[in-house]
Structure 1
């Protein structure tokens, strides 16, 4: 391989990575729009409802864009893949409830994302109910479309390793971890979601896994 060929390949990879970073930033900014309404007033049920409606709109256009790039979104329900999801959920609970706390200790600070979630649940009434629905249903859809969907597809030209690592890292970063334990929790969650996405071949199963995981976490709060 000539020097010119090597330079061309490296330049192309750098360009593709820069494009991936720009797409990631754009997706983050767009997906952050619904949160603006919650930040205005967490106790206002109407603003929470508007935030949820904005999330639905963002998810819809994200889905439309993703559907134009890949067919790996839906299929008829496969019971073997559902069984795999159940196994992964059990593994997730073991990791989150026993192994990670055993490594880092039981009394660790929670992340900014978790603080916001608990704050919203403590509002009580309609606000807490709406936010629980958002956490269990809407948030998994928008996050899977963003991370295991669009960003995953955009990372494809850079190879399978980048496809796995980049969405997993970005998923962890946007949840606001600030300690080694928090980074471990979110990187583990992101990696498990990516395993579900890769093994099942369809995004619908990582959405289902994400919803079930958030439901179990919500019930535990």
Structure 2
């Protein structure tokens, strides 16, 4: 009798052990499926923020059928409208998911200090890494080439690089990515954000790729500290503003002479 009871105890323990293994496996599968779904969403958002850039090629296309200022008016309407629509979609999604997060911003001294420090660190990182580069990054070369297409395109590029890009990129790479992946492991979230940010910017060599990765990590660390997208957008804006002005002045000098 005691042997029978002991045997049933062993069977019961084995069943419980098997149930735990099944639950662990199920949880692992669910977690993988969840991360795959989130990765698919991230890819969708990355595609979404690229869409308005197609407006840059519209003048050349439209001038085949229409002449006059209407071409540039339509181009600007589509260009700005595209970025407004993308920003609205991303903003609405993030605001519903995290209503407590600050996107519309009233600056405070502490946050302004973080932006200033972040900007200094960004500039220092770009100078240090840039000292190892022998040529312009592929991303900067592509941007400079677009600046030199026409005066109209030059101003569109200023809007895109200095205003639109900081907004949509921070909404995706910090607002979405860092709140979806490794939420309880901020170091991994910061590294992932930096790696993906660096990888979507055109790079022809390791040094130029590293520069954008480090920039992404600094921006991600800023967001992890403040949890304030508006502060991040401001920092990103400052980082992009000076190169945009330099490219604009250089292109206007060549186009108007």
Which range, TM-score by smaller chain? 0.7 to 0.9
Alignment partner of 1:187 is 2:213: yes
Aligned residue pairs: how many?
Answer: 217
Cα deviation, residue 191, structure 1: 0.5
2:154 is aligned, of 112, 128, 152, to: 128
TM-score norm. by structure 1 comes to 0.86
**Of the two structures, which has the highest relative contact order with CA contacts closer than 8 Å and spacing of 6 or more?**
1
**Corresponding residue number in structure 1 for 2:82:** 54
**Corresponding residue number in structure 1 for 2:137:** 110
Q: Which runs of no fewer than 5 residues in structure 2 stay unpaired?
A: 1-16, 62-70, 248-257
Highest CA radius of gyration, 1 or 2? Answer: 2
Structure 1 residues 42 and 174: alpha-carbon distance in aligned structure 2, compared to 1, 3 A threshold: farther
Contact 1:66 1:150 in 2 (8 A): yes
Alignment partner of 1:197 is 2:223: yes
1:100 is aligned, of 129, 154, 170, to: 129
SS at match of 2:33: helix
Structure 1 residues 145 and 184: alpha-carbon distance in aligned structure 2, compared to 1, 3 A threshold: same
Contact 1:100 1:185 in 2 (8 A): yes
Cα deviation, residue 93, structure 1: 0.9
Cα deviation, residue 158, structure 1: 7.0
Structure 1 residues 42 and 187: alpha-carbon distance in aligned structure 2, compared to 1, 3 A threshold: farther
Cα deviation, residue 157, structure 1: 5.5
- The root-mean-square deviation of aligned C-alpha atoms, in Å, is 2.4
Counterpart Cα distance in 2 of 1:17 and 1:164: 17
> Could you give the per-residue CA deviations for residues 132-174 of structure 1, whole angstroms, max 9, x where no partner exists?
1221111111111111112222225574344323332222222
Q: Which runs of no fewer than 5 residues in structure 1 stay unpaired?
A: none
SS at match of 1:72: coil
Contact 2:158 2:245 in 1 (8 A): no
